[in-house]
Amino acid sequence: MTETPIEAPALERSPAQTAATVPSVTSSDEPHRERLARHARRARLYASAGTFVALLAVLVVLASKNTQTAKLDWVAGSTRASLAWIILAATVFGWLLGITTALTVHRRTRRAH
């Protein structure tokens, strides 16, 4: 009587045997248009990150070069502050104003559901 090999259960298979039974995903499985869209999204992400880092570096250099104090005139009174703090405050204020504007425009121009 000859013994026939019995296939091992899935839990007892080696990683090589498991990899051989699972179909591999190749680049030909992904449509060309989807691959281009994925690469475009990745390129935009890297460009955005690079732009953010460059703007942050410019802000740091600008603030470090402007350490002297300046007089700020307000509606009611005046103060003296370092130009670096003025630049930082103006940057944060502009950023918050931009976010608020974008949210307002988005809310007013979105489609009604």
Same domain, 73 and 113: yes
User: Average pLDDT, stretch 20-49?
Assistant: 80
**Residue 36 in domain:** yes
Q: What is the pTM of this model?
A: 0.47
Same domain, 109 and 84: yes
Question: Distance between CA 57 and CA 40 in Å, rounded?
Answer: 26
Confidence of residue 50 (pLDDT cuts 50, 70, 90): very high
**Residue 3 in domain:** no
> Which residues, 6 or more positions from 86, have their beta carbon under 8 angstroms from its beta carbon?
70, 72
**Counted domains in the chain:** 2
The domain in which residue 46 lies consists of: 30-65
Same domain, 60 and 83: no
User: Average pLDDT, stretch 3-7?
Assistant: 56
- CA 22 from centroid of its chain's CA atoms: 33
Judge whether residue 104 has pLDDT over 80: yes
Percent pLDDT > 70 in the chain is: 73
* Angle formed at CA 75 by CA 71 and CA 80, multiple of 5 degrees: 20
